[in-house]
Structure 1
Amino acid sequence: MKLFRMAAVLAVLAGPAYAQEAPHINLLQDGPGKSEDEKAADAERDKAYKETLKKIPDAKTSNDPWGGMRSDPPKQPAPKASAASTTKKTKTGAAAN
């Protein structure tokens, strides 16, 4: 039984090594080349595609890495209060001398 197990392990390990030695066969035959008209049409199509890509404006990227995880939009920060609008509060109930 041990001999059978050893043979199975060697067969499994030898499989990938044998596959590397297999001859490389190209099953797809090279087709006929393109004519000059087809090459010119491809070049024109590529040129039009590249010009179209140049017309697309760059998208502004968001600085919020968790933006897609929120269900509600991010809250805007509260505006800062000016120094003139803040008043100093005093304690109530204390005797002032």
Structure 2
Amino acid sequence: MKLFRMAAVLAVLAGPAYAQMPNINLMQDAPSKSPEEKAADAEREKVYKETLKKIPDAKSSNDPWGGMRSDPPKQAAPKASAATTSAPKKTKTGTAAN
């Protein structure tokens, strides 16, 4: 019975250590490419990069909430100083009672 308990303890302690070991695969998964396949891949990559250069740069908006609004943002109101200079000044009329 003690032997079974010791084996169980060792199995529990070895689990995390086994999980930390790197996965090394010494076998090659697929055969290497032939020179024709390498040339075709290089040509395909060249065409892809040329196509990417033809795409124009999109001007992105700096407004992260732009899609949430239903109407465009409002412009700032003009200064109030122009409105106060054109309005006539009102003066009090009458006498003060002492």
TM-score normalised over the length of structure 2 = 0.57
Give structure 1 stretches of 5+ with no counterpart. none
Give the AA of the match of 1:65. P
State which structure, 1 or 2, has the greater radius of gyration over its C-alpha atoms.
2
* Matched positions, count: 84
Q: Secondary structure at the match of 2:86?
A: coil
Which residue pairs with 1:62 in the alignment? Answer: 61
Which residue pairs with 1:35 in the alignment? Answer: 34
Q: Distance in 2 between matches of 1:28 and 1:71?
A: 57
One of 70, 75, 82 as aligned partner of 1:72: 70
Percentage of matched positions with identical amino acids: 63
Question: Are the structure 2 counterparts of residues 40 and 80 from structure 1 closer, same or farther at C-alpha, using a change threshold of 3 Å?
Answer: same
Q: Distance in 1 between matches of 2:18 and 2:73?
A: 63
1:27 CA drift (Å) = 8.8
Give structure 2 stretches of 5+ with no counterpart. none
Matched, 1:19 2:19: yes
Q: Distance in 2 between matches of 1:79 and 1:38?
A: 65
Question: Are the structure 2 counterparts of residues 79 and 56 from structure 1 closer, same or farther at C-alpha, using a change threshold of 3 Å?
Answer: farther
1:17 CA drift (Å) = 1.6
Cα RMSD, aligned residues only: 3.6
* Bigger RCO (CA 8 Å, 6+ sep): 1
Question: Are the structure 2 counterparts of residues 89 and 17 from structure 1 closer, same or farther at C-alpha, using a change threshold of 3 Å?
Answer: farther
